[in-house]
């Protein structure tokens, strides 16, 4: 069974770009995009073991990326590397993410092909 690359972001255009790039650079993954935190969380609860990595946006309605991270941690759902993809150039967000070991890297949108050099997909 194929591992899953999960994208949680309310920005559908970004999801489109991400899907394209993952398709191009990451072989053998099934891409799933969720456009809200709650949908994303629901999916993670079901498929936690099968997720290869997560691209997580920070700025979302309802609860944002940080909230989602907290929820995942309390429910012990983090079994995969998490990459933040944010349009924010706010250094505060970058510093905060550096303090969390679950977060492997912080990418400022748009995601570029070079960024994939820095991703460890844990596949193979």
Q: Which of 17, 26, 71, 100 binds other proteins (CB under 8 A)?
A: 17
Residue 99 or 124 with smaller CB distance to other proteins:
99
CB 79 within 8 A of CB 49: yes
> What is the rounded distance in angstroms from the CA atom of residue 23 to the CA atom of residue 57?
19
> What is the rounded distance in angstroms from the CA atom of residue 33 to the CA atom of residue 12?
9
Other Cβ atoms within 10 Å of 46 Cβ, number:
9
Supply φ then ψ for residue 25, to 5 degrees. -105, -20
Residue 15 or 52 with smaller CB distance to other proteins:
15
The answer to whether residue 112 forms part of the interface with other proteins (CB under 8 A) is yes
Name the segment binding other proteins (CB under 8 A); options: 16-24, 75-83, 97-105, 116-124.
16-24
Number of amino acids touching other proteins (CB under 8 A): 21
Residues 25-84 that bind other proteins (CB under 8 A): 59
CA 61 to chain centre: 16
Q: Which residues bind other proteins (CB under 8 A)?
A: 11, 13-14, 16-17, 20-21, 59, 87-92, 95, 108-113
């Amino acid at each position: 069974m194929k591992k899953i690359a999960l994208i949680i972001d309310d920005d559908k255009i970004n999801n489109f770009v991400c899907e394209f790039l993952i398709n191009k650079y990451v072989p053998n993954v099934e891409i799933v995009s969720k456009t809200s935190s709650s949908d994303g969380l629901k999916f993670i609860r079901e498929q936690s073991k099968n997720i290869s990595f997560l691209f997580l946006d920070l700025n979302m309605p309802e609860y944002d990326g940080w909230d989602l991270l907290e929820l995942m941690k309390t429910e012990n759902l983090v079994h995969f590397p998490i990459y933040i993809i944010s349009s924010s150039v706010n250094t505060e967000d970058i510093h905060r993410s550096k303090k969390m070991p679950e977060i492997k890297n912080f990418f400022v949108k748009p995601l570029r092909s070079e960024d994939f050099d820095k991703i460890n997909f844990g596949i193979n």
